[in-house]
């Protein structure tokens, strides 16, 4: 039996501002934008190439409390350039060396070894991780 992760709730304070950030700066696709009264709105967005979507939710959890979700890309340098070109203030690439978090890409460009950080307008923290080859499933 496969268990697929297909939706993650992202807590935000302003759905319109968050929607603009994720579509314009991150390039996510809008799947659903539905309101049912003043206090209920579902905005579901999907990153390019992903089978998992996010849903922007107000009043569900503290805005900015989501930390450490990973977006995976094959080329971190190219992803960084694309995000910067969209006007996003993406952090510089880093890896983990003998002394901990170290500036720059992983020296051997090992798969799963290089990252950059993105903070959305509410302070939710994302990591973009370079994955050039996948670990085989058991």
Structure confidence at residue 50 as a pLDDT band (50, 70, 90): very high
Write out the E strands in 25-66: 29-35, 41-46, 53-57
Mean pLDDT of 16-32: 97
The least confident of 8-12, 35-39, 101-105 is 35-39
Tell me the C-alpha distance between 98 and 14, whole Å: 40
Q: Which domains does the chain have, with CATH numbers?
A: 7-130 (3.10.180.10)
Tell me, what's the pLDDT at 27?
A: 96
**What is the value of pTM for the model shown?**
0.84
CA distance 108 to 103: 14
Mean pLDDT across the chain: 91
SS3 59: coil
Whole-angstrom CA distances from 91 to 52, 61, 80, 81 are 23, 25, 8, 11
Q: What is the DSSP string of 94-112?
A: EEEETTEEEESS-TT--TT
80 in Cβ contact with 93 (< 8 Å): yes
C-beta of residue 123 within 8 angstroms of C-beta of residue 67: no
User: Looking at residue 40, what is its pLDDT?
Assistant: 83
Position 106 pLDDT exceeds 80 = yes
User: Residue 26 above 90 pLDDT?
Assistant: yes
Give the mean pLDDT of 85-93. 95
Cα separation, 102 vs 93, in Å, equals: 9
């Amino acid at each position: 039996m496969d268990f697929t992760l297909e939706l993650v709730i992202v807590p935000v304070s302003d759905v319109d501002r968050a929607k603009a950030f994720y579509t314009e700066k991150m390039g996510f696709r809008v799947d659903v934008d539905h309101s049912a009264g003043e206090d209920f709105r579902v905005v579901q967005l999907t990153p390019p190439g992903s089978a998992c979507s996010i849903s922007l939710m107000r009043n569900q959890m503290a805005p900015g409390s989501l930390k450490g979700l990973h977006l995976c890309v094959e080329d971190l340098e190219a992803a960084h350039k694309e995000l910067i070109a969209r006007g996003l203030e993406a952090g510089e690439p880093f890896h983990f060396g003998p002394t901990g978090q170290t500036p720059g890409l992983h020296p051997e460009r090992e798969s799963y070894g290089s990252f950059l950080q993105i903070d959305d307008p509410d302070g939710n923290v994302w990591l973009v991780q370079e994955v050039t080859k996948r670990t085989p499933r058991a």
